[in-house]
Amino acid sequence: MAIDLVKADEHFIHVYNRSVCFVKGEDVYLYDDAGKRYLDFTAGIAVNALGYSNEEFKNALKDQIDKIIHTSNLYFSEPAIKATEYITKATGLSKVFFTNSGAEAIEGALKVARKYAYNKNPESKGEIIAMNHSFHGRTMGAVAVTGTEHYRTPFEPLVGGVKFADYNDLDSVKALVTPDTCAIILETVQGEGGLTPATEEFIKGVRALCDENDICMILDEIQCGMGRTGYLYAYQRYGIKPDVVTTAKALGCGVPVGAFVANEKYGKAMVPGDHGSTYGGNPLATAAVCKVYEIFEKDHIVEHVNEVAAYLDSALKGIVERHSDKVKGLRGVGLMRGLALADDVAVGDVIAACLKEGLVVVSAGGNVLRMVPPLVIEKEHVDEAVKVIEKVLG
């Protein structure tokens, strides 16, 4: 029996315009309360990397529930210890703090940078350089470094000392650096801002600028990390390392978990009492992290992403060519892709029409139709999605 969604919405704070109630997932498909099947090209916004039918992952969670779910961070747990080993190996960094979300990971990363600056000079103003058109989350610190004004204005005054440079414009970053600059934060691939990867010149230039001035380089890989771009972490494509990286979303494949990971220098800046979380990194969440990394390695997920991404790239280029009156171009990299629509084509209308046809997609900034499917999709799923998009655009 279908759910009355109008009635269901009465007790929610209305910050989302929901239209469907999904009740089940199988493979890379979702099913609503009326039994209709949808091909999922959103993956819970880049979260469900393994789709919905990985029995190994589900059994790992069930096994951990039978052992222990929560103890608090006053104590060690076996899954958390193991998860730190996986995540430090994957990132090439050495110190981990587990959070409940990506936004919390951003908050922690900013605190690490400011604490390091404070340790050097208690008079430091802790200035932070962020990027225009960036998105880092909804909490007050994360909103403060989000480079889209309409996200910030209703909630001011926010965390202070933040300046905004232009993404992929190194000179605009250099112009903002002062002796009080403690961090430069950017997404390795801008997600909400329109699916724009960093250029090699830009990201290497920021790395050099941080090295020269003892500034913390923070890379936000909450959406673009965990294999989505064809590398386990997107910065590995450029042969550089950040001082701090934030990760979440596919890190737990649906279990709420994130982390900020620091190198030795910045990780050691934090001492007991500087930060904390009751739930962050509890045994259930970190059991999920461990199993995700295990499956990624065993099933060669990153290699699979590169194979299917090449096929998706070719298919989307075909859409751009055939619908040049409605599509301006192709955005993104790997399985983090988007179609930049013409100004007279409303992305919301395209999303609604795709949903009606059984395809789940979302938007990104700049009128972009965003596709961040489960990383386990196959070529036939690409064909199925392209067929729907072609029909809608036509």
- What is the predicted pLDDT for the residue at 184? 98
Q: Give mean pLDDT, residues 157-183.
A: 97
What CATH number is attached to the domain comprising 17?
Answer: 3.90.1150.10
The pLDDT of residue 4 is above 90: no
What is the torsion angle, in degrees rounded to the nearest 10, for the CA atoms of residue 92, residue 98, residue 102 and residue 106? -70
222 and 154 co-located in one domain: yes
175 and 134 co-located in one domain: yes
Point out the domain boundary residue: 279, 298, 317: 298
279 and 359 co-located in one domain: no
Angle, alpha carbons 33-56-374 (nearest 5°): 55
Point out the domain boundary residue: 281, 298, 315: 298
- What is the predicted pLDDT for the residue at 1? 64
Please tell me the distance from the alpha carbon of residue 266 to that of residue 94, in angstroms, as a whole number.
10
pTM of the shown model: 0.96
Q: Give mean pLDDT, residues 117-127.
A: 97
40 and 122 co-located in one domain: no
* Residue 293 · residue 253 · CB < 8 Å: no
C-beta neighbour count of 31 within 10 angstroms: 15
Please tell me the distance from the alpha carbon of residue 389 to that of residue 355, in angstroms, as a whole number.
10
Point out the domain boundary residue: 283, 298, 313: 298
216 and 331 co-located in one domain: no
170 and 23 co-located in one domain: no
Share of the chain above pLDDT 70, in %: 100
The pLDDT of residue 217 is above 80: yes
177 and 188 co-located in one domain: yes
Please tell me the distance from the alpha carbon of residue 107 to that of residue 185, in angstroms, as a whole number.
12
222 and 324 co-located in one domain: no
Q: Give mean pLDDT, residues 64-71.
A: 97
Instruction: Domain count for the chain, please give it.
Output: 2
- What is the predicted pLDDT for the residue at 5? 84
Whole-number CA gyration radius for the chain: 21
Model confidence at 384, pLDDT cuts 50, 70, 90, reads very high
Q: Residue 167: which domain range?
A: 56-298
Please tell me the distance from the alpha carbon of residue 189 to that of residue 193, in angstroms, as a whole number.
9
What CATH number is attached to the domain comprising 206?
Answer: 3.40.640.10
41 and 67 co-located in one domain: no
122 and 258 co-located in one domain: yes
